[in-house]
C-alpha cells in the first residue's frame, strides 16, 4: 500500500472542469441561478495511484466523480483520458455512443449498496449486463466470468442465483465492486464505498479493495468524507470545499504539514479513538455557504480565522508549496504554517 505513485504517467487530466446545475423558479421555470457544484477543478490522476477526494457534504465531490465518468456532463472544461498507448481522448466532447468504449475503462462503485442493485434481478442478472453490452455472448461464458468475479470478492460462486435482499450490506457492497470489475476497467471511482456499512464490516471491504488494486493494477478515485480512511488508503488526497480543490498533497504530507486552514479545521474536528492523541480542536463557526451564491473571493473566508481583505476580493489560485507537489489555494499559507495545528491555543491568545 505504500510507495509513491509512478512519475508523470497520468491516466486522467482535468482542466478547469465546471459542473453547474440550473436552479429554475416560478411558473415559467426561468433560470434563477446556478448551483456551482464543481467550479473550476484542475487535477491529474496518475496510473496506479489511489487518489482521495475528501470534503463535507455538498462540496461537490460526488458530482466531480460523476463528471469524470460523464454520468453528469460537465458545463465547461476538459477531461482527458489517457489510455497509456498514446491515445488521448477528451471525454466531454464525445457523444453518448462514442463514449461506450471508454465507459469500459472507467467504472464506479456507488455509496448505497441497498439502492444500487436491482431487487428484481438475481446477482447474475445484474452482473451479466455489462458483459452482454461488451460482447460476451455465450451464456455459459458469462456464468463462468460472473462466478470468477464473485470468488474474487470473497463470495461463493452459487451466490449468483440469489437476489439482493438475501445479502447483508457488506456482501452487497462486494457485489457492487464485482460489477464494477466485470469489464476489467482501468479506473474505478469509489463513491463512499464503506460509509453505509457497519464498522466491523468496513475493514473487510477496504482490504478487499486494496487486494484487488494490487492484483489488477487498478487506479482508484476514492471519494469519502472520512479522513481517517483516506489517510490509511490513499497515495494523494485532494480536499474540496464548495466546488473547488483547496489543498492537494501526498497523504503523509497532508497530515504532517497541513497548509490550508480548512483542512486544518477538518482534521482537528475528527474524533480520534486514541486517548493520547487529543488535538486542540478548531471549531468552525457557521455552516457551509450555499453553492448557489458562494462568497466572493476565497469561498472559505467567512469561516476562516486567517481571513483578510484580500481573501474577500480575490480567489486564491492553487499554488505549489515545498517540494512534493503540495498544492494549496490560500493567500495566507505562511501565517497558517506559522500558527500550525497543534499550537492553536497560542495563536488564539
Partner 1 sequence: MSDIALEVDDIKTYIYSNRRCNKAIDGVSFSIRRGKTLCIVGESGCGKSITASSIMQLLPALSRIEGGSITYHSDAGEIRIDKLPRNGARMRAIRGSEIAMIFQDPMTALNPVYTVGFQIAENLKYHTKMTARAIRDRCVALLRHMGIPLPEQRVREYPHSLSGGMRQRAMIAMAMACNPKILIADEPTTALDVTIQAQIFELMNRLKAEHGTAILLITHDMGVVAELADDVAVMYMGKIVEAGTVDDILRRPRHPYTRALLSSIPVLGRGKNQSIRPIRGSTPDPYNRPPGCQFAPRCDFATEACQRMPDETFVAPTHRVLCWNHDRVAASG
Q: 116: closest CA among 126, 107, 124?
A: 126
> In this chain, which stretch among 91-99, 137-145, 279-287, 322-330 interacts with partner 1, using CB under 8 A?
279-287
Binding test (CB under 8 A) with partner 1, winner from 227, 237, 249, 330? 227
The site for partner 1, by CB under 8 A, has a size of: 44
Phi, psi for 42 (deg, rounded to 5): -110, 130
Closest separation between CB of residue 82 and partner 1, Å?
27
The 145-164 contact track toward partner 1, x by CB under 8 A, reads --------------------
Binding test (CB under 8 A) with partner 1, winner from 17, 35, 218, 251? 251
Binding test (CB under 8 A) with partner 1, winner from 14, 239, 267, 318? 267
Which string of b and e fits 286-300 if b means at least 16 CB within 10 Å?
Answer: eebbebeebbebbbb
Residue 284 as a binder of partner 1 (CB under 8 A): the answer is: yes
Sheet holding 76-82, edge to edge: 30-46, 10-25, 76-82, 88-90
Site for partner 1 in 188-207 (CB under 8 A): 198-204, 206-207
SS (H, E, C) 43-88: EEEECCCEEEEECCCCCCHHHHHHHHCCCCCCCEEEEEEECCCCCE
> In this chain, which stretch among 65-73, 133-141, 282-290, 318-326 interacts with partner 1, using CB under 8 A?
282-290
Binding test (CB under 8 A) with partner 1, winner from 269, 315, 337, 347? 269
Which residue, 107 or 258, is less far from partner 1 as judged by CB? 258
- The full DSSP string for 187-227 is EEEEESTTTTS-HHHHHHHHHHHHHHHHHHT-EEEEEES-H
Closest separation between CB of residue 233 and partner 1, Å?
8
* H or E element that contains 181: helix 169-181
Binding test (CB under 8 A) with partner 1, winner from 145, 183, 288, 337? 288
CA-to-CA distance for 297 and 103, rounded, in angstroms?
37
CA 345 to chain centre: 33
Q: Supply 337's cell numbers.
A: 504554517
Q: 13: closest CA among 38, 39, 47?
A: 47
Give, in order, the Cα–Cα distances in Å from 250 to each of 3, 54, 239, 256, 324. Answer: 11, 13, 11, 10, 7
Residue 273 as a binder of partner 1 (CB under 8 A): the answer is: yes
* List of residues 6+ apart from 69 with CB closer than 8 A: 103, 106, 107, 108, 189
DSSP label at 9? -
Closest separation between CB of residue 200 and partner 1, Å?
4
Closest separation between CB of residue 89 and partner 1, Å?
33
Residue 270 as a binder of partner 1 (CB under 8 A): the answer is: yes
Which residue, 128 or 250, is less far from partner 1 as judged by CB? 250
Which residue, 14 or 251, is less far from partner 1 as judged by CB? 251
Binding test (CB under 8 A) with partner 1, winner from 209, 266, 311, 330? 266
Closest separation between CB of residue 194 and partner 1, Å?
10
Residue numbers at the binding site for partner 1 (CB under 8 A): 1-2, 56-57, 168, 170-171, 198-204, 206-207, 225, 227-229, 231-233, 251-252, 255, 265-275, 277, 281, 283-284, 286-288
Amino acid at each position: 500500500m505504500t510507495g509513491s505513485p509512478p512519475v508523470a504517467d497520468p491516466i486522467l487530466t482535468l482542466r478547469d472542469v465546471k459542473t453547474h446545475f440550473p436552479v429554475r423558479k416560478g411558473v415559467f421555470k426561468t433560470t434563477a441561478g446556478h448551483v456551482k457544484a464543481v467550479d473550476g477543478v484542475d487535477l491529474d490522476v496518475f496510473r496506479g495511484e489511489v487518489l482521495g477526494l475528501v470534503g463535507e457534504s455538498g462540496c461537490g465531490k460526488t458530482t466531480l466523480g460523476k463528471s469524470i465518468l460523464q454520468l453528469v456532463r460537465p458545463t465547461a472544461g476538459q477531461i482527458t483520458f489517457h489510455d497509456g498507448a498514446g491515445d488521448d481522448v477528451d471525454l466531454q466532447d464525445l457523444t453518448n455512443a462514442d463514449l461506450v468504449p471508454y465507459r469500459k475503462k472507467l467504472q464506479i462503485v456507488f455509496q448505497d449498496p441497498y439502492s444500487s442493485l436491482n431487487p428484481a434481478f438475481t446477482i447474475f442478472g445484474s452482473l451479466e449486463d455489462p458483459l452482454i453490452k461488451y460482447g460476451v455472448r455465450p451464456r455459459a461464458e458469462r456464468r463462468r466470468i460472473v462466478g470468477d468475479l464473485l470468488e474474487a470478492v470473497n463470495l461463493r460462486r452459487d451466490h449468483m442465483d440469489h437476489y439482493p435482499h438475501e445479502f447483508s450490506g457488506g456482501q452487497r457492497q462486494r457485489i457492487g465492486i464485482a460489477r464494477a470489475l466485470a469489464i476489467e476497467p482501468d479506473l474505478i471511482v469509489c463513491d463512499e464505498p464503506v460509509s453505509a456499512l457497519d464498522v466491523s464490516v468496513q475493514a473487510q471491504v477496504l482490504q478487499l479493495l486494496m487486494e484487488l488494486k494490487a492484483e489488477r493494477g487498478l487506479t482508484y478515485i476514492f471519494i469519502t468524507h472520512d479522513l481517517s480512511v483516506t489517510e490509511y488508503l490513499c497515495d494523494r488526497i485532494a480536499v474540496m470545499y464548495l466546488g473547488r480543490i483547496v489543498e492537494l498533497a501526498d497523504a503523509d504530507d497532508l497530515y504532517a504539514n497541513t497548509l490550508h486552514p480548512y483542512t486544518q479545521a477538518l482534521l482537528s474536528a475528527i474524533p480520534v479513538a486514541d486517548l493520547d492523541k487529543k488535538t486542540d480542536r478548531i471549531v468552525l463557526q457557521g455552516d457551509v455557504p450555499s453553492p448557489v451564491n458562494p462568497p466572493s473571493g476565497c469561498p472559505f473566508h467567512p469561516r476562516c480565522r486567517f481571513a483578510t481583505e484580500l481573501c474577500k476580493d480575490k480567489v486564491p489560485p492553487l499554488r505549489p508549496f515545498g517540494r512534493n507537489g503540495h498544492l494549496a489555494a490560500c493567500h495566507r499559507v505562511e501565517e497558517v504554517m506559522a500558527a500550525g495545528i497543534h499550537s492553536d491555543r497560542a495563536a488564539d491568545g
